[in-house]
Structure 1
């Protein structure tokens, strides 16, 4: 079934096709999955004129979540308001439902709100690039592990959920920065999320992973709208730069290399302010200082296929 929807990659409305088996909505131009595991709300059964109108075979509710006990499928007993006698039974002689009836599902219900909060954070990030479902599920799994260890008891859950999402990104190849997670968390500060992340890692036994410039350059280059050729030049320049001792923050290193490449590019003439903003909002002064440190190695890090040696004279002298 084909329809038209707005594609984030194509930046326009394109024809999309729905894969009912996998539940994906796919752009026919670039192949981007616009929506994954959607719920088909069309009629599941055929209805006939002579069928009992009171019989409704349509199933309702969203798909079950494997992270919740029994997929959050539960049975609730309706408690009719009747006066009980001294024996504690109702008018029919039956004992009324008590608090033990729903205790079995209380643990799953306590996870529904945090999972919803994680989904909302992912939706806010989705405005820009999208969050793979595997990362969101991993973040939910981290929160459930922490909850099973009573780590969440008596704590503000918002910093914990933000820390879980940040950890899920760090353990994948799709790295997001602390600043980005703080923006979509709507409440917790960078300091709170960072502190909670370290506490979670100790409690769950997660080894620390050092973030490098190679983890950050693809997204920063995409934010600036760089061409494939320019992106390849940034990647190779960062690989070559690893042979030198540049003691700077990975974000500022990527920003400085991007600024160097856009000066040598024929189709991209961005200012240092635009480059700094694309690199997760690095301060312009920090980008300039890092650029000054890297500038002496320009002839050794910029790939020869991207520009000739004499073209390096176009670089601004710091």
Structure 2
């Protein structure tokens, strides 16, 4: 990355995305890995900025089938808290579905991240549209592709998403009504 925010590979001003899983800094325009082996030096609990609570939960489990009464109480309390956060569970499933679709289509991490951001903005507006979560994820991937001028047809995305074209069109219409056309 140049000093003025220009990617050295595609020679365009760009934003970068951090892939914490692989430790890479990636150009959102061309997918070029600008810096690898990025070390997260933040302290505190792991976070996910796309979730409303912003944090990733700690899972309390029984290692050998037996557990102390304290561990059982902690697990029960955690399960009760998770029941209140079903929305986050749905969003995590949606993000996993977007990643799956992006990998199947051969898209970069930046596009997958953009699709997740589109879906999280839709969630923040408390909009409930199509019944199919996959349809909404597919529409988000389609919108993210069109924002960065990557030609992906809805028919191709439909094949990967395993959803009817009608359901994806409903979701696309919902996104257009919410955010306007691209």
Q: TM-score range by the shorter chain?
A: 0.5 to 0.7
1:74 corresponding residue in structure 2? 57
- 1:159 to 2:149 alignment: no
Aligned residues: 144
Q: How big is the shift at 1:76?
A: 4.5
Distance, in Å, in 2 between the alignment partners of 1:114 and 1:66 is 15
Aligned residues of 2:48 and 2:56 also touching (Cα < 8 A): no
- 1:189 to 2:164 alignment: yes
| TM-score of the superposed pair, with normalisation by structure 2 | 0.59
Q: How big is the shift at 1:201?
A: 1.5
| TM-score of the superposed pair, with normalisation by structure 1 | 0.37
Aligned residues of 1:72 and 1:105 also touching (Cα < 8 A): no
Q: How big is the shift at 1:183?
A: 1.9
Q: Equivalent residues in 2 for 1:255-294 (5 A)?
A: none
CA RMSD of aligned residues (A): 3.9
Q: How big is the shift at 1:77?
A: 5.3
Distance, in Å, in 1 between the alignment partners of 2:75 and 2:99 is 38
Aligned residues of 2:115 and 2:140 also touching (Cα < 8 A): yes
- Distance verdict in 2 for CA 1:150–1:195, change over 3 Å: same
2:99 corresponding residue in structure 1? 119
CA displacement, residues 137-190 of structure 1 (integer Å, 9 cap, x when unaligned): 1211121222333434771211111111111112222232212211211x2122
- Distance verdict in 2 for CA 1:115–1:95, change over 3 Å: closer
Q: Which has the larger radius of gyration?
A: 1
User: What 5-or-longer segments of structure 2 have no aligned partner?
Assistant: 1-21, 40-45
Distance, in Å, in 2 between the alignment partners of 1:96 and 1:132 is 37
- 1:173 to 2:158 alignment: no
- Distance verdict in 2 for CA 1:180–1:106, change over 3 Å: same
- 1:201 aligned to which of 165, 168, 176: 176
Aligned residues of 1:65 and 1:72 also touching (Cα < 8 A): yes
- Distance verdict in 2 for CA 1:101–1:178, change over 3 Å: closer
- 1:147 aligned to which of 111, 115, 123: 123
User: What 5-or-longer segments of structure 1 have no aligned partner?
Assistant: 1-20, 26-31, 41-62, 83-89, 210-318
